[in-house]
Structure formats: C-alpha cells, structure tokens
C-alpha cells in the first residue's frame, strides 16, 4: 500500500499558498473590512454600554412590548437581565449581544443580496450551493486560523468566524423566499408593465418577507451559538468565562457562564418569535 | 379601427421552438410534433382581427391554446413566428419585435389583464391592489387614490377598500381584479377565464356586471372561455380554437347556424340556443298581433307568445311571424 502514500496530494500546502497570496495582495481589502467592522462593533457597544444598564433593559423591554403587544416577553426580558446583573455578567452580556447584532447586520447585508442574485441567476445558484455547503460543514476551528492570520486577535476575527458560519442561513432562506414567489404574481406584475426593480421591491421581496425574517431569526440564534468559539480568537463576551473555566477545570464558573448564555438565548428566542403570541 | 391584429401567430414551447415550425406547417398535430421534435405546440398560424370596442371571445377545450394566444398580446408568451400588432394611440405596434421599453409602456397604458386565479398581491389591501398598475406606471399618490376610489365605486367595493384581499370571497376578489385592470384606463383588456374559478351564480352576476361596465366604458376586450354559453353571452365575435389552431371565427349566430366541423358542432350542440336565436331565426309565414324587430332575442319574445304569435319586422316591413310552434320547431331542429 506504499504507493498510496508515496505521493500525498498537497491539500494543506495549497491552502496555505492561497492564504499567503491573499495576505500579501488582499491587505488593503482586509484592512478596510476590519476597520468597517470595528466601527460597527464600537458603535453597537457604545449604545449598549454607555447608558445605565437599567435604562438599556427598560428600552429593550419597551421595544419588545411594541412588537409583541403582550406583557410576557417584556417581563421575561426584565427578569432575565436582572438575573444577569445579579450574577455580575452585564458587561460580558452586552459584548456578546454586540457580536450577535453586528453579525446580524453583516449577515443580512451580505446574505439578502446574494440570496436575491442566486434566485435570479440559476448559474450562480449552481456555483454557490457547494460553497454554502462547505461553509456550513467545515469545522469552525479550521477557519479560525486564517481569521487570526488576516485580522489578528479580538472582536473582528470573532465576528468574521461567526459570519462565515452563519451567513449561509440567510442566503438560503432569502433564495428560497424569492424563488418561491408565485408565478401568478410575477406574471401579474409583468402584465402591468413592472420593471425588474419594481418587480423585486413590490412583489418578490414582500412575498419573500416571511422567509427573510426567518433567516434573520436563525442568524441571531446561530450567532449566539458562536460566542464561545469567538472567545477562542479573543472576542470579548460570555464565551470568555466559559473558556477560562475550561482551562482551569472550574465546574462552578463554567456552569454559571453557561447558564447566562442559556438565559440570553431564551430571551432572544422569545423576543424574535413575532406573530406567534396568543 | 383595429385594436389588435394577430398575423399568422405561432407559439411553441421548448428549447428549440423554431424546429417545430416546419412540422406544424405540414399540419401535424401537437402530439406528433412533440414526438418528432420534443417541442410543444402552443398555437399555430393564428390570424384574427379585433376591432375597437368589441368583445372577442377565444373559445375551445382546455389545452386548445386560448391562453397562449391571448398572452401573445402583452408579450407574456414569446411568439416564434408572426406578428401581433397592438393599437398604441393610432399607430400599430408589433409587440413581438418592439423594444422592451415600448412593450412595458404598452403594458402600463394600453393593455391590461385579468387572470383566472386573480393574481392579486395577498399582503396588500383592496385599494393597494386596484392601484397596482397605476403605481407601476408612476402615477402620483393623490391622483392614484382618487382613481382607485372611483374604480372601487364602479365595482361596489368601497366598504372593503382597506381590507386585505384574502378576506374577500372569490367573486369579490375577481371584482378587485377587474377594477385593477379598468383602473389603468387601458383601452384593451385581456381576460383569461376570469370567471371560471367562481360558482355559477356569482359567475352569471359578474358576467352581467362586466357587460354593464363595458356598456359605459367601451373597451376592447379579448376574453378567453371554455364555456360556449358564456362566449355567446359576452362575445360580439367568437374564435374557436382546436389543437392550437383557429377553426372558425364569426358572430355567435354565424357559428351557431353554420358550424364548420364536428368539433364546433359538438360545442354548439351543448349550449342553450335561446342565448343566440333571434326572431329572424324562428320565423314562419304569416302575421301576428304585436310587432318585434327581426334582431330581438327569442328569449325576450317568449313571454309574449302565450298571448299569440308576434309579427317580425325588418326595416318597417313585416317579413313573417314567430309563434310558440315555430320556436319549438326551431329548437328541435
Ligand atoms: N409555459 C408553457 N410551457 C410549456 N407548454 C405550455 C406552456 N403554456 C402552455 N403550454 C402548452 O400549450 C398548450 C396550450 O395551452 P393553453 O394555451 O394554456 O391552453 P388553454 O388556455 O386553451 O387551456 C397546452 O398543451 C399546454 O400544455
Ligand atoms: Mg387557459
């Protein structure tokens, strides 16, 4: 069986060569991206951290009331955050929320246009499908490495890793929504002389809105599931105490931080279930 | 004035539609053409003139190519050979060969459409749906609201203006569809079996409403139907399609009295003759007590016949009479 291993196909070397080339020639692009993302992260962080925590919680509770028109969700949010503050995790929670929100902004900003383009161009769809599969099946740790190489340590590489893992979801759901617009509606728009732009804005997007919103919910929940991995590349947030607990084999700390993540997940999940209230 | 003229229109579906033309020219049927070329014949070599202000009904069994021919008028189906000229405010534009921008202009201002399955946007209210065509054509909001309100009055839906269309019954939804088409002020209306999805009572009511609207608004209507009674009720002229070809066209009476082949004969045999026969058709020699014009529908004369025969007049002279016996004799022919 020696002939099998005699020549090893240089997968690893090739990947490294590609990354080296990208690092050398794509520096401007990556720096620009990093700067934009840092700006976004700072802005969201400032909004969440500069007011008094109780004011932030009150605003969030009020917003959820406007969306849901029931006292249950705001009550859950108030109780949840009070518990988080009691445990002393407010700062970490705002950092993680920042990561989740920036990932949401980036993923929707990138994913929706790509999903639309794929629905309109069958060839692009054929190309993108395997790419999306790869992005979702490649173990997350594998692309943490180039994320560090390109963007160093901190919130930005954490955001990048999160986006790579999460963005296929809104892309797929947008694609699904746009391409399942009933033909009858497309034809009605055509028959009344719609331009491609009008067709997109007045027919396809409204028709795909439920799927796009579902894509946003998935984006947020999937991003939250990435906070621990983001902590490995130096992103602040609730992942940090989890990683620290892992290093020190500190069961108590691990449970504490884990429970906080669960509480945040429950609050987000309820807040995002618009239209399912009784 | 001609509103729409179909000139030798052929439409084929498939990856190489042109390859089917020679076979279709030889007169082969759809199934044979599909076997030999893999292309599906939509319609072949159809010619028809539609005059301004008339209702022309495209009739035929399901799959005969009615919708395909209709959809050639606003370019929803690509024409492989032939031309479809549409009156664009005086000059006739060939929608098959004109530019995209011109086609869009025609769709916004000259040709509107009503669909069998309504084709309404479910997330919009009734008024937003009625205003859809105007919105696409870029009409300003205030003027649009006014036009929409007027249209809703015409179809009797004012009270429903702010409801979502999904809350309406089928008949009301199709009223919205009609209002949307009438709202654009397009002189030519395409209607693809607009009433077929509705139950019979509502269907009859909407047919009557359409005739009333048409009486006031005088549009050119090309109407698709598979129901000969509907065709004879609405149509000034009828074109009968079979297997993608027009087999006979003419006024309802011409078709009823002279069906060209068994296919048309079968259609005619299944319809209610009272819908087309006029006094002239059921005449016998002699005179009666009261007088009616030769073109009066038999249906209107029937109640009078109980009191005895009526005289049929044409241009001031009596040309015969209609009696209960003569009507029965004509119907049992
Ligand atoms: N988009 C299409 N692609 C392929 N075949 C079609 C398409 N539209 C119609 N056809 C075929 O063309 C023929 C005529 O259809 P259609 O015009 O819808 O008939 P009708 O309206 O009289 O019922 C049918 O055999 C139908 O299967
Ligand atoms: Mg049809």
pLDDT digits (tens, 9 = 90+) for A97-155: 999 999 999 999 999 999 999 999 999 999 999 999 988 888 888 878 888 888 889 99
CA distance B167 to chain A (A): 18
- CATH number of B282's domain: 3.90.1280.20
Query: Would you place residue B283 in the very low, low, confident or very high pLDDT band (cuts 50, 70, 90)?
Result: confident
pLDDT digits (tens, 9 = 90+) for B123-154: 999 999 999 999 999 999 999 999 999 999 98
Separation between Cα atoms, residue A142 and residue B284, nearest integer Å: 97
Q: Does the beta-carbon distance from A206 to B136 stay under 8 Å?
A: no
User: Does the beta carbon of B119 lie under 8 angstroms from any beta carbon of chain A?
Assistant: yes
Q: Does A83 map to a domain?
A: yes
Question: In this structure, are B310 and B325 located in the same domain?
Answer: yes
Q: Which residue, B138, B159, B180, sits at the end of a domain?
A: B180
From chain A residues 203-232, the ones with a CB under 8 A of any chain B CB are: 203, 206-207, 209
Separation between Cα atoms, residue A108 and residue A96, nearest integer Å: 18
Phi, psi of B188 (to 5 degrees): -115, 130
User: Does the beta carbon of B107 lie under 8 angstroms from any beta carbon of chain A?
Assistant: yes
Q: What is the pTM of this model?
A: 0.87
Question: In this structure, are B54 and B202 located in the same domain?
Answer: yes
- CATH number of B53's domain: 3.40.50.300
Q: Does the beta-carbon distance from A193 to B121 stay under 8 Å?
A: no
Q: What is the mean pLDDT of residues A198-202?
A: 97
Q: Does the beta-carbon distance from B76 to A190 stay under 8 Å?
A: yes
pLDDT at residue B297, rounded to an integer: 83
pLDDT at residue A276, rounded to an integer: 67
Of B112, B93, B6, B1, which Cα lies nearest the Cα of B54?
Answer: B1
pLDDT at residue A277, rounded to an integer: 58
Q: Does B7 map to a domain?
A: yes
pLDDT digits (tens, 9 = 90+) for B27-79: 999 999 999 999 999 999 999 999 999 999 999 999 999 999 999 999 999 99
Residue A161: exposed, middle, or buried by beta-carbon count in 10 A (0-12, 13-18, 19+)? buried
Of A187, A188, A193, the CB nearest to B104: A193
Q: Does B212 map to a domain?
A: yes
Task: Give the DSSP letter of residue A114.
Answer: H
Q: Does A69 map to a domain?
A: yes
Q: Does the beta-carbon distance from B121 to A185 stay under 8 Å?
A: yes
pLDDT at residue A35, rounded to an integer: 92
Q: Does A57 map to a domain?
A: yes
Phi, psi of B217 (to 5 degrees): -95, -20
Distance B112 CA to ligand 2 centre (A): 17
Question: What is the H or E stretch that residue B189 is in?
Answer: strand B188-192
| B108 touches A193 (CB < 8 A) | yes
Q: At what angle do helices A239-248 and A251-272 cross, to 10 degrees?
A: 160
* Cα torsion angle, B158, B162, B163, B166, sign: positive
Q: Does A15 map to a domain?
A: no
- How open is the CA angle B315-B318-B323, to the nearest 5 degrees? 125
Q: Does A277 map to a domain?
A: no
Question: In this structure, are B162 and B239 located in the same domain?
Answer: no
Which residue of B lies nearest to A206 if distances are taken between CA atoms?
B123
B247 has pLDDT over 90? yes
Instruction: Tell me the residue length of chain A.
Output: 278
Separation between Cα atoms, residue B229 and residue B238, nearest integer Å: 11
**Which residue puts its alpha carbon closest to atom 6 of ligand 1?**
B13
- CATH number of A63's domain: 1.10.3720.10
Token pair belonging to B222: 């090309």
Q: Does B85 map to a domain?
A: yes
Distance B66 CA to ligand 2 centre (A): 6
Distance B120 CA to ligand 1 centre (A): 22
Question: In this structure, are B21 and B98 located in the same domain?
Answer: yes
Q: Does B308 map to a domain?
A: yes
Q: What share of chain B is helix, strand, coil (3-state, %, to 5)?
A: 40, 25, 30
Partnered with residue B223 across adjacent β-strands are: B57, B191
Q: Does the beta-carbon distance from A193 to B120 stay under 8 Å?
A: no
Judging contacts by C-beta atoms under 8 Å, the chain B residues touching residue A211 are none
Question: In this structure, are B12 and B99 located in the same domain?
Answer: yes
Question: In this structure, are B92 and B211 located in the same domain?
Answer: yes
Helix (H, G, I), strand (E, B) or coil at A135: helix
Partnered with residue B13 across adjacent β-strands are: B40
Judging contacts by C-beta atoms under 8 Å, the chain B residues touching residue A191 are 74, 76, 107, 111-113, 115, 119, 190
Label residues A8-17 b or e (16+ Cβ within 10 Å = b).
Answer: eeeeeeeeee
Range of the domain at B298: 277-332
Question: In this structure, are B52 and B105 located in the same domain?
Answer: yes
Q: Does the beta-carbon distance from A203 to B121 stay under 8 Å?
A: yes
pLDDT digits (tens, 9 = 90+) for A52-74: 999 999 999 999 999 999 899 99
Q: Does A13 map to a domain?
A: no
* Count of domains observed in chain B: 3
Ligand 1 atom showing the smallest separation from residue B41 Cα: 12
Q: Does A9 map to a domain?
A: no
User: Does the beta carbon of A194 lie under 8 angstroms from any beta carbon of chain B?
Assistant: yes
Ligand 1 atom showing the smallest separation from residue B66 Cα: 22
Question: In this structure, are B75 and B169 located in the same domain?
Answer: no
pLDDT at residue B11, rounded to an integer: 96
Range of the domain at A54: 22-272
* Count of domains observed in chain A: 1
């Amino acid at each position: 069986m020696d002939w099998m291993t005699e020549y090893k196909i240089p997968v690893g070397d090739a990947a490294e060569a590609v990354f080296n080339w990208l690092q050398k020639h794509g520096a401007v692009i990556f720096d620009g991206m990093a700067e934009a993302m840092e700006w976004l992260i700072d802005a969201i962080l400032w909004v969440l951290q500069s007011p008094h925590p109780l004011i932030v919680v009150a605003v969030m509770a009020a917003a959820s009331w406007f969306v849901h028109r029931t006292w249950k969700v705001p009550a859950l949010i108030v109780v949840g955050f009070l518990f988080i503050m009691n445990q002393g995790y407010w700062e970490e929670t705002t950092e993680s929320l920042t990561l989740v929100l920036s990932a949401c902004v980036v993923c929707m900003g990138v994913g929706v246009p790509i999903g639309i383009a794929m629905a309109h161009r069958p060839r692009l769809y054929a190309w993108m499908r395997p790419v999306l599969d790869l992005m979702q099946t490649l173990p997350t740790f594998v692309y943490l490495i180039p994320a560090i190489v390109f963007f160093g340590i901190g919130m930005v590489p954490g955001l990048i890793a999160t986006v790579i893992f999460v963005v296929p979801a809104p892309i797929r759901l947008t694609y699904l929504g746009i391409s399942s617009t009933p033909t009858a509606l497309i034809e009605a728009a055509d028959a009344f002389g719609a331009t491609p732009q009008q067709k997109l804005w007045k027919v396809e997007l409204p028709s795909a809105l439920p799927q796009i919103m579902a894509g946003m919910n998935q984006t947020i929940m999937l991003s939250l599931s990435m906070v621990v991995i983001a902590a490995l590349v130096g992103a602040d947030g609730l992942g940090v105490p989890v990683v620290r607990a892992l290093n020190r084999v500190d069961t108590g700390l691990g449970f504490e931080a884990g429970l906080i993540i669960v509480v945040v997940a429950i609050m987000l999940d309820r807040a995002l279930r618009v239209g399912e209230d009784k | 004035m001609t509103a729409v003229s179909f000139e030798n229109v052929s439409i084929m579906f498939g990856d190489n539609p042109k390859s089917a033309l020679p076979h279709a020219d030889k007169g082969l049927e759809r199934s044979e053409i599909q076997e030999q070329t893999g292309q599906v014949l939509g319609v072949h070599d159809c010619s028809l003139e539609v005059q301004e202000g008339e209702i022309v009904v495209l009739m035929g069994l399901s799959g005969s190519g009615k919708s395909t021919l209709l959809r050639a008028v606003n370019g929803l189906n690509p024409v492989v050979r032939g031309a479809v000229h549409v009156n664009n405010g005086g000059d006739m534009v060939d929608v098959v060969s004109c530019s995209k921008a011109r086609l869009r202009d025609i769709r916004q201002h000259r040709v509107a459409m009503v669909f069998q399955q309504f084709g309404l946007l479910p997330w919009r209210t009734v008024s937003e749906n009625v205003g859809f065509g105007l919105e696409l054509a870029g009409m300003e909001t205030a003027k649009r609201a006014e036009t929409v309100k007027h249209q809703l009055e015409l179809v009797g839906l004012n009270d429903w203006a702010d409801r979502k269309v999904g809350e309406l019954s089928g008949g009301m939804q199709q009223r919205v569809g009609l209002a949307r088409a009438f709202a654009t002020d397009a002189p030519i209306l395409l209607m693809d079996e607009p009433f077929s999805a509705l139950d019979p009572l509502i269907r009859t009511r909407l047919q009557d409403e359409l005739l009333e609207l048409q009486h006031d608004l005088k549009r050119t209507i090309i109407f698709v139907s598979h129901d000969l009674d509907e065709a004879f009720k609405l149509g000034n002229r009828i074109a009968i399609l079979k297997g993608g070809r027009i087999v006979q066209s003419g006024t309802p009476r011409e078709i009823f009295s002279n069906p060209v082949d068994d296919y048309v004969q079968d259609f005619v045999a299944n319809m209610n003759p009272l819908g087309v026969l006029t006094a002239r058709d059921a005449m016998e020699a002699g005179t009666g007590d009261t007088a009616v014009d030769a073109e009066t529908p038999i249906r209107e004369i029937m109640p009078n016949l109980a009191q005895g025969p009526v005289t049929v007049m044409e241009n001031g002279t009596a040309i015969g009479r209609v009696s209960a016996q003569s009507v029965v004799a004509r119907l049992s022919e």
